[in-house]
Amino acid sequence: MFFILSKLLIYFLYPLSWIFALLLITFLIKNKRHKRYTSITAFILLLIFSNNYLFKQFVTFWDFPRIPTTNMRYSCAVILGGYVSEDAAKNGYFNGAADRYIQAIKLKETGKAAHLLFTGGNASLDPDGFTETNWLQSELKIFNFPDSTLLFEKQSRNTIENISFSKKILETKHLQPPYLLVTSAFHMRRALLICKKANLHVVPYPCDFSGGITTVSFDDFIPSTDALHGWNGYLKELVGYTIVSFKS
């Protein structure tokens, strides 16, 4: 039930949903004073969340920083799912978070991780049998990694389940902590907090950096659909982090 509610309620986190709701209220109500308030509020929200400069400021604040390279070797790297999507023909493909996969391969090739644990099933409300890790198994064949060094968790639907189910596999395989935790920089804070709550000793290995503040240009102050879209993922992380913080 919690999984279903989380999937449905997430749409109410999107700034564009707030703006459309306010515009709908503006259209439906008759009180002129209230109409003015709701329309002005919608306009202000649009200006704020479409401002690329403000979005970059938040990205810089929230994204987990890059970790300096060390010669440390780890028994396993846990790669959180979310970088594989399914097309209309039920075929998998790498989406915008594919750097998680790229970094995992680099960790294995350079010997920094003896094992790779890929975690992720199907997060759809109406799963059709497709799973991230089943598809990844076929993709990984080209590297000729020993089967014994590749682990797959195929049941999880969200980050909490990613961590919980992965912990059981790591304990069953008797792989010694700490483990590398590979996920996107914007997702790392919440993932680390979940690991802490689950008593899973990990070392962060952030990737898929969004960029944050680089140079400021005039274009950053022109309303941007990219900024509007970018806030969707970050607000989800912020709310998710807050919820996990209060969970025992």
- DSSP 8-state class, residue 67: P
| pLDDT tens for the chain, residues 1 to 248 | 555 666 667 878 899 999 999 999 999 999 999 999 999 999 999 999 999 999 999 999 999 999 888 889 999 999 999 999 999 888 999 999 999 999 999 999 999 999 999 999 887 766 678 999 999 999 999 999 999 999 999 999 999 999 999 999 999 999 999 999 999 999 999 999 999 999 999 999 999 998 766 777 888 889 999 999 999 999 999 999 999 999 86
Return the bridge partners of 86, or none.
92
Gap between the terminal Cα atoms of the chain: 18
Domains of the chain: 2-63+224-246 (no CATH), 74-207 (3.40.50.620)
Tokens representing 139 are: 């993709």
Task: For strands 84-86 and 92-94, give the pairing.
Answer: antiparallel
Task: Give the phi and the psi of residue 218 in degrees, each rounded to 5.
Answer: -60, -35
- Rounded Cα distance between 98 and 84, Å, is 7
